[in-house]
Amino acid sequence: MKMRILFIFCGLFPFISCVNHSMDSIDFLIGTWQIESRDQYETWAKDRNNALIGYSYEVRENQEIILETLAIKMIDNQMVYEATVPDQNEGQSIHFTLNPDLGSCFSFENIHHDFPKKIQYHKLSDNEIKIIVLGEEGKGFSYKLIRQVKE
């Protein structure tokens, strides 16, 4: 009996672990989000390759000023967050890999990057997300995103 349970568990384990971190599990980001109490936004859409493509921007004099371009996609069976900031890192994207051990949030990590080392997305509700940006020794900052509804 124990062998049978072990066999069933081992047979299902790969499917269980993949379900929690599939690209569909991060679809809650799709849409436009505003940083609470600021004219700064983050917007996400899904492309035809099932990746999320986005950018952050601020509004100045009714113009969108892009602060960074973003992507979340699968690379070698790992979910990867890519951030490209104009005039930084010689225009190269910085990759952060999902830490699958944290079930409470999506924690994208790159311990070799100077700052940030971790970018965490905590879904608070369908309309609120908390972002935590961390560097050395867990120091950093956080902010809340509020979903924007198109009129």
Q: How many domains does the chain have?
A: 1
Residue 2 has pLDDT above 50, yes or no: no
* 46-62: pLDDT as tens digits: 999 999 999 999 999 99
pLDDT of residue 151: 59
Q: What is the CATH number of the domain that holds 92?
A: 2.40.128
Cβ neighbours of 68 (radius 10 Å): 17
Contact partners, residue 68, CB within 8 Å, separation at least 6:
55, 56, 83, 84, 85, 86
State residue 85's pLDDT score: 94
- The confidence score (pLDDT) of residue 5 equals 41
Residue range 105-116, pLDDT digits in tens: 999 999 999 999
Nearest 10 degrees: Cα torsion 40, 41, 42, 45: -160
Q: What 3-state DSSP class applies to 133?
A: strand
pLDDT of 13 strictly over 60: no
- DSSP 3-state of 26: helix
Could you tell me the pTM of the whole model? Answer: 0.84
* Structural domain range at position 103: 2-148
